[in-house]
Structure 1
Amino acid sequence: MKHFPGSTRRPRNVNLSGKSKPSSGLVVAREERARREVERQRLSASIKIQSIYRGYVVRRSIRTGFRAYWDKAVGFPEASSPSSYSDDSLALLLSFCDTSSIEDVRRLAFVTTAFHLNGDLSSTVGLVISNNGRSRLLVIRLSRLLLAALSLTNLRHTTTQAQALQFLSFLSCVMAYLPNHADAAYFDTLKLAMGHGLVPQAELATSPSETSLAGLAVILQSIVFPLQSVIESDRHLVYVNFVQGFLASASLHTDLFSLIPISTFRKLLDVRQLLEATSKLRIDQMNSGGTMWLLSYLIAFVYEDALPGSPHQMVLEHHLFSHPLYKKPQKPINSRPMFELLVVALNPILNAYGNHMWGPTANSIKISTPSECLPTNPFIEGNGCPDPPEFIRRQLEILLGTDFITDVVDSITRNPTPLSSIQSMDTFYASQSLILRLLLYFRFLQRKLHNRLFLARSRQGVSLLAALYYQIQETHTFRSGVTSVKVILEGLKLTYNKSAECNPKPLEWTAIFLFLDLYCFSNIVMDDEEFFSFEDRSLKPNQLKDLVSFLKNLAFSIYFEVSEIELQTSNELVRQLPSEPDYCTRFHTRSDVAGLHGISVPWIRNLTIAILRSLHRRDSRQKFLPDGFWLMKEIDTEGTTHLIAEEEARQWELEETNIADSESESDNGGISQATFESGNKCPNRRRDKSSRRNYMAAITPRLGVIQNLPFLIPFRTRVSIFRDFIRLDQARRGTGDRDLWRLNQANALQDQPSWKAKHHGIIHRNRVFDDAYDEFYALGDGFKEPIQITFIDSFGAEEPGIDGGGILKEFLSSLVQESCRTSSAKGAPFFTETESHLLYPNPNLLDQMSWDSCTPLEDNNNSSPSKLSVRDTGDLLRRVEFLGRIIGKCMYEGILVEVAFADFFLLKWSKVMLGNDDVGLGIDDLKSLDTSLWKGLQALKHYDEQTIKDLDLTFAIENNFQMADRRSPSGFTRKIMLVDLKPGGSHIPVTSSNRLEYIHLVSKYKLAVQGKQQTNAFLRGLSSIISPRWLSMFNQSELQTLVGGNESPLDVDDLRKNTVYGGVYTIGDDNQEHETVKMFWQVMKRLRESDKRSVLKFVTSVSRAPLLGFSSLNPRFSIRDAGSDSTRLPSTSTCVNLLKLPRYTSEAVLEEKLLYAANAGAGFDLS
């Protein structure tokens, strides 16, 4: 039995016998064997080293002997040239020559002088090479050694530069006879030598010496001679090597083309052969930087203007022309065939560049976060990277020249038929692809290129936009996409596949995207006059109808089927994606949508939104599409409006939660004990994330449509969402239930005695706005909360009333009525009106107040305004801001007010506060402000030069405004202020060349600059109550409806259906109305529209029906009996929308009493 010591640790086992274990002998034997094996390996290695060293010593000794023998035989280095030359001496040199040895390089230079013994290097080399025996092979071996020596030579020393030029002179002659040996290594070595400073540029830039010019001549002939092979196959191969090994270099523009301009090479080379060789290259194997330099050099070869030649350039050209090995290239081809070759050559280059920037490899690197899904492009602006180098930028801008644009338009407008030649088809599709890629890849080109393409016409006078639309409407994708989403979705799911470059679907999408991009720009620059001319660049109504249908289906695809589009990924990328979906992969953005590099879902979405918004805005100004055409039945929002509102509020919170989840998961990348301890929680977390994804997949597309393309959804649905937004905001602030909120606030009065003072206002009838400003401005966005109003009549007595909403409506209506006056009788008004009596902020408000504050002089016309103090200006703008809060409060409470605003002003409500000051307002919107000015500016576009001169216009504009003047017989006086539209504008005359700028500046000044402080103050107040995001769902006419209700006739049947009866009028079991009630509805139906509205205002204080119908009126419209006295007038309690109607016995009496009471205009009182 063992004794338990109290410890669970195992006791130590100590061997005190001194005997070794049986296994110790085996360990010793194993160590001995290993030691002996190491010794054997060391012995074997030492034998090998000794053998190699002895071989090296012997070879060095032999080479040394050979060198001594060769030096003695040829007289090196004493003689200036070999005393005797033979194939044996050359073979001996090649056997021991080491290009890393300076002395051997000198021997190579020495032996090349042997070919000058007869005075003509080219003829000597030619004689040697013409012999197909040993001499030819030795010269080829010598050439390879010279290339190796060139690649290792330090060209910073004068001696080595002379040697390098001597080598190049020899090599150029050899390659002239043996062009098939001018491989990629030859041109790589040549490029490397140029980069190492083969010819000092400083000397050439100042005063080139004969030596420098001779060096340049050698460089020139070393490039040109190999490219002049008589054999077509050899010449093509050399051009391919030249393009891939030499032209794709970033340093040529400084190392070579700064010394020998490209125009010189254009005379000496076969540009046609150069372009054909480029089109056959494996450009996808080149890096992105090399492809762009190659592209820029090719453009320069074709389009760069030839500058007047300098004297040394003429010397170089003469030297080469007189050389016996020079062969004059073929006669230059015409510009049209040259353009076709260039377009076909440039497309693979841009395609390879796009593959580098947006291909699977690039995407696989950038897949971690949504912002990193698109790879960084070193030559594209806007990605936080430097602009393209100046040389590349300059060459790309050459493409904006008239010749290139005209050739492109000719190619695209010359629509090929199935019987067209292959070359014509290639040029047609290549031209479309080239223009689209230039617009996608280089943002600095976009504006100018858009302008040129918009204005461009073919030589037959055909507009590019018209031709492109004709082409896309013939495509299967567009024809089917007008009526169906399926074909569009299938096309967008295509991925880039090099083996399927001739697939017709990507070609169709190329034309479609190019048209959409140009059409988007055209909608920016075209005014309504040109757009609605339906000629030339504008589309006809039936074409616009098809285009809008296609764009609606395209928008549906990119919003509701985005997951299917994004999941279509190339095989290379699929292998690199994680197997489990996570935050990163869900938001990964493809950049080869529809099989085209650089096309992504966000790009398509932005383009589609821009065009649809522009067309809808024009349709809002002047209808060209039938009613209801913009609605999209496929977007089902039935029963989801409250979810959309909740998602808008929660979106930021969800994104924060997702990011926090991803960070916590990344922190726990390894398997730890904590992971196992929380294992039971992981399934719940995964289920929560999955449910969130499903929720967002269902709601987020609808929210995106609401925010960006709201006009695709019915107006009533959007109003419901708007009210849901407000209800959600009220719930967040705790003001959803007014009675409960007031009760809670009343219970808190003991702790916060100042609350009642904040939310309760004493309002005098004769100064409603001033009292409201004093009482409620300090609330800020707290003006959203319920407020209590006590009216004081003109006699100073308090008007009794129980506020069920009617007093608030009366208060807000009175506020709007007083503050929106346009008369100057009581001082400068906050608003002024257009010719159509539509209101907008008074642009001269601050100026008028300045004039009012100045001291009157005897001559009104010579008086000057005094500058308002900062305090006065601030107070005035705060009042305008409060006015914006009042309009916002009306919309927040669902109270309609009888005020109409100008369209251009309504357009700013949802845009300015989102960071866009002018919201794209232009001359077309000027029509809603000043029709006369708009007509004048439209006419100015068509005047001839003499008429414009007679008008004597300058870049200045006069501000005319009227103000009160007691000394004037009329009670008013008119003031004029001259404002420059640009610096010194009053001294710059308007001419035919700058009239478009004048029109633009006048429109911008009138719509955006003038009155900007007042407008921003109003919008600041409005946005503190109503979020601009909520208002972005509506256009200008819909916003007016949201403020003032419909102008459509009142629906008496709807009002009758949603009326509640009380007292004697309560409907009994027989479901029959009281006789007086029946008479009331008969009278209402036959009243004039104005009288109907008067009755409605008499009961509800608002003359217009609620936007969602009378079912949304709260409280409901009610009728209660008021006794049997037929001489008594009806009365109302507008606080609860109650009509107290006596029991009249005839319709005539009822009508007379009802209209009299409705038009009496009495205030609040108890009845």
Structure 2
Amino acid sequence: MYPTFSGSAKSRRQVNLSGRNNNPFASYGSSKPAATTQPASSAVAHAQQERILRENERRRPPAAARIQRTWRGHKSRCSSNRIWRQYWDEQEAWGTAGVQQGPYATEAEALQQLRLLAQFASSKLEQDTQRICHFAHRYLSTASSNLIHPTDAWIYPSSRLAKAVYRTSRTASFGSLPSKAVAELVDLLAMLASISAPFLATYSEDYYQTINLAVKHCPAVKPFRRAVTALLDHAGQANNAAYLGFGSVYLTQAVLPGFDQDLVDLVGSIDYAPLVGAVDHWVAAQTNQQLLKFNDSEDRLLWLLSRLIFIHQNTKRKHDTTETRDSNYVNVISRLISVLSREIGQRLDTIDRRLSSGSEAITGGPRPSASKRLPAFVQKQLLSLINQASISSLLAKLQAENTSSDSANEAHKASAEASALASYVLTLLRVFPQRKGDIQMWLYRGSVNRTLPATKYFYQAANSTSVFRSIQDAPTNAIRFLASEKPGLPSGLDKNGSTARDRDRTEEDWRIILLFLELCTFAFQVMDDEEFLSGSSKPLPHASQTRQSALPLSDIENLTTFLKNLAFAMYYYATDIAGKPANVNRHSLAAYFGKDELRQTLFNEAEERLEEQDVGGVNGMTVDYVKGLVVGVLRMIYQRDSRRKFLPKDHWLMTKYFEMDRFISAVVEEEEHGRQVEESYDALEDQTEGSARVDNDTDSEAEDLALIVGTQRTRNLRHSERLKSQQRKASKRKYLESVTPRLKILENMPFFIPFHTRVEIFRQFVNLDQFHRRETDDADEWRYRMMNSVTGNISKHRATVRREQIFDDAYKQFYDLNEGLKEPIQIRFVDQFGTVEEGIDGGGVTKEFLTSITNEAFGATNGLESLFIENDQHLLFPNPSAVEERKETLRQSMLTEGSPDWNETIRDLLRRYEFLGRIVGKCLYEGILIDIHFAPFFLLKWALTGGSGSASKESGYRANLNDLRDLDESLYQGLLQLKNYPGDVETDFSLNFAVTDTLDLSPTQTKTITRELRPGGENIPVTNGNCLFYIASIAKYRLQLQPERQTSAFLRGLGTIISPSWLSMFNQSELQTLIGGSGAEVSIADLRKNTQYGGIYVIGDDGMEHPSIQLFWKVMESLDMADVAKVLKFVTSTPRAPLLGFGNLTPRFSIRDSGSDQTRLPSTSTCVNLLKLPIYRDEKVLKDRLLYSINAGAGFNLS
């Protein structure tokens, strides 16, 4: 049976509560619409509406009762006020001709009138304003007669009347009062405050706002002086609340009522400690946006900042506060400067940024107009922060307190104060970058009389932080300390689940770490290698400060581990830190480079990421800033380890965090992706800007001209366009960082990856670039296509050069090619008799051309001027005096400086440097080795032209004392003596902050010129206190500033052929290996395996080598490495093997026969790496002839 059968055949009634007709055919075929039905949702809504109506009916009677009660109360108060007002008027004879004007007869009468007036006075009634003024007049007269001795009964009515005065000052009737009445109101307010200050302190902001409003209507000074200090003097335990209004309202005004012309008296009338404590509490409670809004157009925050600086400095002069902790002051000053840093930087018009009296200035944009410049007082106080005494004393005090702190609580407090000092100094470094060297030196020398140097002190503080220890363990731990906060989480938690207290502690840790790294950048610049490596041993009692500041090598190893992990995380986990997925995960690669809409989307999304989060909550310390700082210090240590190994083998490698089996292919993919993004952004920028697009890499000479020519509006427009272009480039850079992490690591920390892997990547990049440019790997095929192309112009890639003037002829014919020099070129040589040397260029003539032109240019042969000069080790670097020598020669030729001929001559010199850079780049691009050796400090500038913290004009290079050794050994030794001199430097050396250059105008004529290392340097003596800064200034001038134009031109040319990001994958020694080959022992087996044979030496079908070839390899195996290198130089023009083996030698090493005369010597054609070997039959004869040839120093002519 069916389980649903109930025994009854009668159908069950169905109840449909939904209001919907369940019959699907009910309305079929009918012309009338179906009957209106009510869905279930309508029924629910109807029920809800009825419920709301019932609830309203229930609430209406209580609401009506409350309204009635409120109205009765209001009516009763109005009635009472009317009665009190009437009674008060009767006592004062108000509104009659006999109104009372004199003092009150008794204290009781004054108190009674005060109570009545405080009860009924309303700011909405103008008559009540007049009554308050009348009472003020009589009350002040009474008080002057010493009839009033306030008791507790006066406190409440006094506070009520003071509040009535607050409200009255904001009405329109207040502005119509005579100045005398306003002065009496201010005096009344001061007396009321002296009576009820503890109660009025809560309303201190209203109190000082009333004073600020009153001063606009009253020129008197005396009443305002009393009013300003009255609340502060009598607030008692509520002084913090009183000082809150004093700081946040009174001190923020451009004109201080009562004390504008005498701030020193104001300092003597207030209490410094509660003031900075209250302001610190107020500032900490505000967000950055709130503070910027508070600053508004009246510069209120700037005035507060400057007044606090003035009060702090004058208080310290007036009282001995060496035992007073300044953490509150440091906190509030660093926070305010950090928030206002952009505005201060734009409006500050103070520091002369010129290096010397020359015409070249470093400017960040147009000078601010007079209306936008900072007020003189504000500017003066801000500049007073850049003071050695303030920074050094804060550090000394901090160390003294830290030394005396025994308990854990005191240690934590000392750590918090160290963090506050760190925030203060970091903010100064960011806002005043021109004085960065001074600030770092003052901090470095701040502990000169202490047992613990600043470097070691801050390392200990940094090493003890949880941030340092956690990141030192693993790179992934850095993500949670760097990641931005995620909105929408429960109050008090961030996306990592950290509480507000955890975030505060993390912020303190980061401040200490970042200040330590800033300190390292200065310390490592002035510390020589001997001092750096001696940190593990205890210094002598009278050792130099740099020696005492050296960290033990074990600490250096821990520091580098921390820096490696942190730097790796910031690049490799960039998207996790930013908290946003990379666009590459949301769109296909083709979408980026298809329609304009998607390209615009890419641009807009990258623009959104341009607003960076602060690292660890430290205001202003963005991820980009920290990247530059961390990578800079990491590179400085790596460079020392490259010179003298002191860290364990493979310490720098981070290969365990990569999939090395596919690392090369992944990097090449990222490079291709980056190239497509570059093209996409360039196309979008062309659409956005059109003809207004600004090139930020123009010559400094053109920049200077732009600052001179044109109106202020023109310069401002140019500056605005430059800023827009910089913003677009920054957005592009940030996007590339998120989608090309391996590539960015290679550019900034190449030492994370083995050298040979990077060389393979470099060659892959070159091959990829060649394919994109030529669409083929064969040079002859490219030439054929160009000759048959309508737009092709192969003639530009051909040149005829005279052997005795190769550089000049090539410069004239190839300079205009620019990056077209990457393509295959064809050279025809003309000998000394004017005869064209015929031949087919299969790559060999190009090689001979490149080796010949580099030998001529770097050797300054054939009467060429010295573009490059040698140091004591015969290593090359750009002639630092070349531009100045050329200028002086032009002056002697009576040319006017700045004339067209003058400018063209200087440009021609710089173009020659640029062309020489292209030639070296061409050698690297084609894989042709040249026997040229550059100075390490010059090669280091190549390595630093790429990466996030660098630019095409070597701005990433940090000059230091050790690099001077590669420039001038005698100068290096002299500066070492100065640095370690125990006596009086000023008296014994008589140096100043100026340097003398000697210009060689001819073999018999020289001239000396003097340049200042800082403004007014000739009048600034070098002392024991500033000698470190002098050393750093000398190093920067000699290594960076003096050769800047020559070096920039060379690197610009080099970067035209070889991308700066490719160069940044190598350090200075590795770059030298790329240029000239590996200095390792030559593998005879590898050379033999990759040798090609010609003539009768060709290997036949039997696979056997010719007997003479067998003798040749037997002789080669018997030679020592020095002779093998000579053989290589004899054949290939360079004594070293290619980095990736002889399989990568271009053209291949080749041997062919040259007759059977046993007396004939071997000869070569170095242009094609060809050895012409006679058919020798005796091993001894072959060896003697070969050694004679390679030691004779000739090749082709020995044939």
With the length of structure 1 as denominator, give the TM-score of the two structures: 0.72
Q: Do the aligned partners of residues 189 and 1092 (structure 1) sit closer, same or farther apart at CA in structure 2, a change above 3 Å counting? A: same
Q: Are 2:609 and 1:587 equivalent residues in the alignment?
A: yes
Which of the residues 590, 599, 623 maps onto 1:601?
A: 623
Structure 2 CA distance, aligned partners of 1:977 and 1:952? 21
Q: Are 2:926 and 1:889 equivalent residues in the alignment?
A: no
Structure 2 CA distance, aligned partners of 1:439 and 1:1066? 71
Which of the residues 227, 233, 238 maps onto 1:219?
A: 227
Which of the residues 611, 618, 621 maps onto 2:633?
A: 611
Q: Are 2:148 and 1:124 equivalent residues in the alignment?
A: yes
Deviations 1:514-570 (A, max 9, x none): 21233234345656676566432332333222212211111100001111122199x
Q: Which position in structure 1 is the counterpart of 2:1011?
A: 981
Q: Are 2:113 and 1:80 equivalent residues in the alignment?
A: no
Alpha-carbon distance, 1:829 to partner: 4.5
Structure 2 CA distance, aligned partners of 1:848 and 1:54? 95
Q: Which position in structure 2 is the counterpart of 1:29?
A: none
The amino acid across from 1:649 in the alignment is: R
Structure 2 CA distance, aligned partners of 1:960 and 1:302? 51
Equivalenced residue count is 995
Q: Are 2:118 and 1:107 equivalent residues in the alignment?
A: no
Q: Which position in structure 1 is the counterpart of 2:509?
A: 508
Alpha-carbon distance, 1:1086 to partner: 1.8
Q: Do the aligned partners of residues 1049 and 176 (structure 1) sit closer, same or farther apart at CA in structure 2, a change above 3 Å counting? A: same
Deviations 1:80-135 (A, max 9, x none): 34578387766665665444444433433444566568766776252xx445xxx8
In the alignment, is the contact (CA less than 8 A) between 2:425 and 2:515 conserved in 1? no
Q: Are 2:653 and 1:631 equivalent residues in the alignment?
A: yes
The amino acid across from 1:893 in the alignment is: E
The amino acid across from 1:820 in the alignment is: F
SS of 2:664 mapped into structure 1:
coil
The amino acid across from 2:234 in the alignment is: P
In the alignment, is the contact (CA less than 8 A) between 1:347 and 1:430 conserved in 2? no
Q: Which position in structure 2 is the counterpart of 1:739?
A: 780
SS of 1:820 mapped into structure 2:
helix
The amino acid across from 2:515 in the alignment is: L
The amino acid across from 1:1083 in the alignment is: V
Structure 2 CA distance, aligned partners of 1:1017 and 1:600? 32
Q: Which position in structure 2 is the counterpart of 1:194?
A: 212
Q: Which position in structure 1 is the counterpart of 2:456?
A: 466
Alpha-carbon distance, 1:197 to partner: 0.7
- 1:518-557 aligned at under 5 Å gives the runs 518-524=519-525, 531=532, 534=535, 535-557=547-569
The amino acid across from 1:509 in the alignment is: W
Q: Do the aligned partners of residues 299 and 625 (structure 1) sit closer, same or farther apart at CA in structure 2, a change above 3 Å counting? A: same
Structure 2 CA distance, aligned partners of 1:347 and 1:989? 33
Alpha-carbon distance, 1:662 to partner: 13
Q: Which position in structure 1 is the counterpart of 2:720?
A: none
Structure 2 CA distance, aligned partners of 1:1013 and 1:379? 30
Deviations 1:306-335 (A, max 9, x none): 899xxxxxxxxxxxxxxxxxxxxxxx8x62
Q: Which position in structure 1 is the counterpart of 2:431?
A: 444
Structure 1 CA distance, aligned partners of 2:980 and 2:650? 36
The amino acid across from 1:1035 in the alignment is: N
Which of the residues 406, 418, 421 maps onto 2:393?
A: 406
In the alignment, is the contact (CA less than 8 A) between 1:438 and 1:445 conserved in 2? no
The amino acid across from 2:672 in the alignment is: E
The amino acid across from 1:189 in the alignment is: Y
In the alignment, is the contact (CA less than 8 A) between 1:82 and 1:113 conserved in 2? no
Once the two structures are overlaid, the 10-residue window that deviates more, 72-81 or 177-186, is 72-81
Q: Do the aligned partners of residues 190 and 894 (structure 1) sit closer, same or farther apart at CA in structure 2, a change above 3 Å counting? A: closer
Q: Are 2:760 and 1:720 equivalent residues in the alignment?
A: yes
Q: Do the aligned partners of residues 600 and 54 (structure 1) sit closer, same or farther apart at CA in structure 2, a change above 3 Å counting? A: closer
SS of 1:1033 mapped into structure 2:
coil
Q: Which position in structure 2 is the counterpart of 1:1043?
A: 1075
Structure 1 CA distance, aligned partners of 2:935 and 2:744? 28
Structure 2 CA distance, aligned partners of 1:848 and 1:190? 66
Structure 2, gaps ≥5 residues long: 1-67, 350-363, 486-493, 536-546, 582-600, 690-731, 946-950
In the alignment, is the contact (CA less than 8 A) between 1:801 and 1:1165 conserved in 2? no
Q: Are 2:1063 and 1:1031 equivalent residues in the alignment?
A: yes
Structure 2 CA distance, aligned partners of 1:698 and 1:779? 35
SS of 1:552 mapped into structure 2:
helix
In the alignment, is the contact (CA less than 8 A) between 2:574 and 2:737 conserved in 1? no
- 1:325-336 aligned at under 5 Å gives the runs 335-336=321-322
Once the two structures are overlaid, the 10-residue window that deviates more, 786-795 or 1084-1093, is 786-795
Who wins on radius of gyration, i.e. which is larger? 1
With the length of structure 2 as denominator, give the TM-score of the two structures: 0.70
Structure 2 CA distance, aligned partners of 1:852 and 1:284? 64
Structure 1, gaps ≥5 residues long: 1-47, 204-211, 230-234, 309-331, 359-373, 570-579, 664-691, 855-863, 964-972
Q: Which position in structure 2 is the counterpart of 1:706?
A: 746
SS of 1:900 mapped into structure 2:
coil
In the alignment, is the contact (CA less than 8 A) between 1:125 and 1:173 conserved in 2? no
Q: Are 2:938 and 1:899 equivalent residues in the alignment?
A: no
Q: Are 2:270 and 1:254 equivalent residues in the alignment?
A: no
Q: Which position in structure 1 is the counterpart of 2:845?
A: 807
In the alignment, is the contact (CA less than 8 A) between 1:247 and 1:294 conserved in 2? yes
In the alignment, is the contact (CA less than 8 A) between 2:331 and 2:420 conserved in 1? yes
Deviations 1:34-80 (A, max 9, x none): xxxxxxxxxxxxxx9x9999999999997996576444499852543
Structure 1 CA distance, aligned partners of 2:142 and 2:883? 96
Q: Which position in structure 1 is the counterpart of 2:445?
A: 455
Q: Are 2:327 and 1:343 equivalent residues in the alignment?
A: yes
Q: Do the aligned partners of residues 218 and 818 (structure 1) sit closer, same or farther apart at CA in structure 2, a change above 3 Å counting? A: closer
Alpha-carbon distance, 1:1083 to partner: 1.7
Q: Are 2:858 and 1:820 equivalent residues in the alignment?
A: yes
Which of the residues 834, 853, 859 maps onto 2:871?
A: 834
Q: Do the aligned partners of residues 822 and 948 (structure 1) sit closer, same or farther apart at CA in structure 2, a change above 3 Å counting? A: farther
Structure 2 CA distance, aligned partners of 1:217 and 1:962? 70
Alpha-carbon distance, 1:469 to partner: 0.6
In the alignment, is the contact (CA less than 8 A) between 1:644 and 1:703 conserved in 2? yes
In the alignment, is the contact (CA less than 8 A) between 1:527 and 1:923 conserved in 2? yes
In the alignment, is the contact (CA less than 8 A) between 2:999 and 2:1008 conserved in 1? no
Alpha-carbon distance, 1:489 to partner: 2.9
Q: Do the aligned partners of residues 731 and 78 (structure 1) sit closer, same or farther apart at CA in structure 2, a change above 3 Å counting? A: same
In the alignment, is the contact (CA less than 8 A) between 1:121 and 1:170 conserved in 2? no
The amino acid across from 2:314 in the alignment is: E
The amino acid across from 1:559 in the alignment is: Y
Deviations 1:980-1018 (A, max 9, x none): 224999997976588778766765665456666665555
Deviations 1:159-217 (A, max 9, x none): 6444344445445444444444214335513332234317855x6xxxxxxxx53x245
Structure 1 CA distance, aligned partners of 2:1020 and 2:348? 40
Which of the residues 663, 669, 675 maps onto 1:643?
A: 669
Deviations 1:1020-1077 (A, max 9, x none): 5444433444333333333322222233332223223434567887779998766655
Once the two structures are overlaid, the 10-residue window that deviates more, 427-436 or 411-420, is 411-420
In the alignment, is the contact (CA less than 8 A) between 2:483 and 2:577 conserved in 1? yes
SS of 1:338 mapped into structure 2:
coil
Q: Do the aligned partners of residues 833 and 933 (structure 1) sit closer, same or farther apart at CA in structure 2, a change above 3 Å counting? A: same
RMSD: 5.3
Structure 1 CA distance, aligned partners of 2:1172 and 2:642? 43
How many percent identity over aligned positions? 31
Q: Do the aligned partners of residues 929 and 896 (structure 1) sit closer, same or farther apart at CA in structure 2, a change above 3 Å counting? A: same
Q: Which position in structure 2 is the counterpart of 1:42?
A: none
Alpha-carbon distance, 1:605 to partner: 1.0
In the alignment, is the contact (CA less than 8 A) between 2:571 and 2:745 conserved in 1? yes
Structure 2 CA distance, aligned partners of 1:851 and 1:393? 40
Structure 1 CA distance, aligned partners of 2:742 and 2:920? 28
Q: Which position in structure 2 is the counterpart of 1:686?
A: none
Q: Do the aligned partners of residues 376 and 905 (structure 1) sit closer, same or farther apart at CA in structure 2, a change above 3 Å counting? A: closer
Structure 1 CA distance, aligned partners of 2:72 and 2:991? 102
Deviations 1:835-878 (A, max 9, x none): 22223345566888899999xxxxxxxxx777797577766665
Which of the residues 139, 145, 166 maps onto 2:164?
A: 145
